[in-house]
Structure 1
Amino acid sequence: MSSTAPPKVFVLTLSCTDRAGIVAAVTAQLAEVGTNIIESSQYWDRSSNHFFMRIAFALERELPAREIERQLAPVCERFEMKSELLDCSRKRRLVVMVSKFDHALLHLIYQIQVGWLDAEIVAIISNHEKNRETAEWSGSPFHYLPITPANKNEQEERILAIVEQTGADLVVLARYMQVLSDKLAGCLFGKIINIHHSFLPSFKGARPYHQAHEHGVKLIGATAHYVTADLDEGPIIEQETERVTHAMSVEDFVATGRDIESRVLVRAVKRHLEARVMLNGRKTVVFA
């Protein structure tokens, strides 16, 4: 009894100035390649007249990604598209950076272990030794890179070297409590995500839950965003809030916040790895 391999799945994302005929041209060319479209999403930004599209398709025959790109090139050139093709059969590689708090890191590890997040952690970088045991337990290489004003540039060069050597697709700041230099943020723009322990833009900086508690807020939350040189102002990917009350203590706020942070970060990572997030200036287009 013979068995056949399942079809390979690819995701194509594209963006360009909006004009008539884009969808027809792209889907017709994909049909010529011999693909079966299994998912399609599109969005027109009225303010900028920019068009965004994400198409997932299956391919029964063996065809390298570079050949698919070659066959799509005429359409991309015709509409002056910015495009990217993702081979879904390739497991995505993460570098995770963390300081002392480990809740977001542990949730990432758990979601990978249960298979909800199709990725592997190829390095854990920390400016503290606290999470070395977690890295060893999870089977991820651990890099202890303490940061001081004197060695910041040197250590950030090491971070970039680790990202390059591991072939990481994404860098995840899982409560990494160091401000990145403009140079590092620029080098990794579009492939580095941070979880901010606040529902931006409220209560920035240190001790956000204490600030929220002092102000008697009724909602607290967390924000996952791409990192830019502007601190905590990068394009937002995912947010969540939860209702709190006057009867809750600061410790209750912190516990609730950590739970939200963990969920929001892993959802943002998943959406990025599945090519569901597209940059749109200072904003993002996030396809469900």
Structure 2
Amino acid sequence: MVTNFVQEQLHHFQEKNRNTGRLIIKCPDQPGIVAAVSSFLKQFDANIVELSQYSMNPNGGTFFTRIEFECIHLKDKAPQMEQAFMEIADEFAMEWKFNYVSDLKRTAIFVSQEPHCLLELLWEWQSGELMTDIALVISNHEDAREIVESMQIPFYHIPANKEIRKEAEEKQLRLLKEYQIDVIVLARYMQILTPSFVAAHPNKIINIHHSFLPAFIGARPYERAYDRGVKLIGATSHYVTNDLDEGPIIEQDIGRVDHRDSADDMKKAGRAIERTVLARAVKWHLEDRVLVHQNKTVVF
């Protein structure tokens, strides 16, 4: 019943947005960019419904924009639009992409033993707040199997540690290719990914770290926060790079603690922060609201 309900919601979302597109642009800033893009969309009878823009430095810096638009018969027009847009893209030296909202991104979730972030994502997905096709869940433990399979989502147990990391990642990469995955979510997946794995999915692996980065990078951040006597704890969702917990930050949040809180108390409070921070970051990624520039993000 859960699966049928979710499928109905996703189908309704796709039908509702079958003529909705998003144009994502990053380029050197100069006059005339918005005017040129707006005029281009008008030529195809497209109506802009949301436009966000940011210039990192108006005097020769980088310009970012996310444009959401409605266009009748969008899928029929899409090839011609993309071909025609190349002229503008060349003129302004753009990095650009058209995304079509009815093409749901396919998501893989990686998890270890702590289920709170996984459960939040599944709840958001089940309730229609997270518009994606959760194609599979991969874990190095069996703990989450019953939860995942109760929603009729494929679950794969692939043991992983530093001794067998290469073999484990080969299996994972085969599954990601087989399921045509667009985004990978590390929902408290407590394994370090190899550079080759990260390179295969640039800016498509979203992690949750259980501290307010750059504080307490790496393992056991709550214990280290307790030893330091902090008054605030937090969580950070970021894209994964080869530098541990130093990838572009998407979202962060904090909660207050005091001298009466033990390390376990901090962990309990932190779990609530972790799951909401990760869910927001994933949602913004799915909605094409996150643009990466060097080791920072612009979040519209």
Same fold (TM over 0.5): yes
Alpha-carbon contact 1:193-1:227 (below 8 Å) kept? yes
Residue of 35, 48, 53 corresponding to 2:65: 53
Alpha-carbon contact 2:17-2:101 (below 8 Å) kept? no
Task: Give the Cα–Cα distance (whole angstroms) in 2 for the partners of residues 63 and 200 of structure 1.
Answer: 41
Shift of residue 6 of structure 1?
6.8
Residue of 111, 123, 128 corresponding to 1:110: 123
Residue in structure 2 matched with residue 203 of structure 1 by the alignment: 216
Shift of residue 5 of structure 1?
7.4
Consecutive aligned runs of 4 or more in structure 1 exceeding 6 Å deviation: 4-7
Alignment of 1:176-215 (within 5 A): 176-215=189-228
After superposing the two structures, state which structure 1 stretch, 59-68 or 205-214, moved more: 59-68
Task: Give the Cα–Cα distance (whole angstroms) in 2 for the partners of residues 17 and 230 of structure 1.
Answer: 27
Alpha-carbon contact 2:54-2:65 (below 8 Å) kept? yes
Shift of residue 19 of structure 1?
1.1
Change (3 A) 1:5 1:117: closer
Structure 1's unaligned 5+ residue stretches are none
Residue of 11, 20, 23 corresponding to 2:34: 23
Task: Give the Cα–Cα distance (whole angstroms) in 2 for the partners of residues 67 and 270 of structure 1.
Answer: 29
Task: Give the Cα–Cα distance (whole angstroms) in 1 for the partners of residues 42 and 181 of structure 2.
Answer: 32
Query: What SS does structure 2 have at the residue aligned with 1:63?
Result: helix
Residue in structure 2 matched with residue 137 of structure 1 by the alignment: 150
Alignment of 1:109-128 (within 5 A): 109-128=122-141
* Percent identity between the two aligned chains: 44
Shift of residue 62 of structure 1?
4.2
Alpha-carbon contact 2:19-2:75 (below 8 Å) kept? no
Shift of residue 92 of structure 1?
1.9
What's the C-alpha RMSD, in Å, of the aligned pairs? 1.6
Residue in structure 2 matched with residue 43 of structure 1 by the alignment: 54
Shift of residue 246 of structure 1?
1.6
Alpha-carbon contact 1:125-1:143 (below 8 Å) kept? yes
Shift of residue 82 of structure 1?
0.6
Residue of 101, 112, 116 corresponding to 1:88: 101
Residue in structure 2 matched with residue 101 of structure 1 by the alignment: 114
Task: Give the Cα–Cα distance (whole angstroms) in 1 for the partners of residues 155 and 60 of structure 2.
Answer: 44
TM-score, L = length of structure 2 = 0.91
Alignment of 1:158 with 2:171, yes or no, is yes
Residue in structure 1 matched with residue 276 of structure 2 by the alignment: 263
Alpha-carbon contact 2:18-2:102 (below 8 Å) kept? no
Alpha-carbon contact 2:17-2:102 (below 8 Å) kept? no
After superposing the two structures, state which structure 1 stretch, 74-83 or 271-280, moved more: 74-83
Residue in structure 1 matched with residue 43 of structure 2 by the alignment: 32
Greater helix percent: which structure? 2
Residue in structure 1 matched with residue 250 of structure 2 by the alignment: 237
Task: Give the Cα–Cα distance (whole angstroms) in 1 for the partners of residues 45 and 86 of structure 2.
Answer: 16
Residue of 167, 172, 182 corresponding to 2:185: 172
Task: Give the Cα–Cα distance (whole angstroms) in 2 for the partners of residues 69 and 249 of structure 1.
Answer: 56
Residue of 275, 280, 286 corresponding to 2:288: 275
TM-score, L = length of structure 1 = 0.94
Change (3 A) 1:43 1:162: same
Partner AA of 2:38 in structure 1:
T
1:6-26: CA deviation from partner (whole Å, max 9, x where unpaired): 761111100111111111000
Query: What SS does structure 2 have at the residue aligned with 1:206?
Result: coil
Partner AA of 1:39 in structure 2:
E
After superposing the two structures, state which structure 1 stretch, 40-49 or 273-282, moved more: 40-49
Alpha-carbon contact 2:218-2:244 (below 8 Å) kept? no
Residue in structure 2 matched with residue 251 of structure 1 by the alignment: 264
After superposing the two structures, state which structure 1 stretch, 71-80 or 254-263, moved more: 71-80
Alpha-carbon contact 2:217-2:244 (below 8 Å) kept? no
Task: Give the Cα–Cα distance (whole angstroms) in 1 for the partners of residues 237 and 102 of structure 2.
Answer: 26
Query: What SS does structure 2 have at the residue aligned with 1:156?
Result: helix
Partner AA of 1:230 in structure 2:
D
1:152-210: CA deviation from partner (whole Å, max 9, x where unpaired): 11211221111111111100000000000111111111111000011111112222112
Change (3 A) 1:167 1:48: farther
Partner AA of 1:137 in structure 2:
S
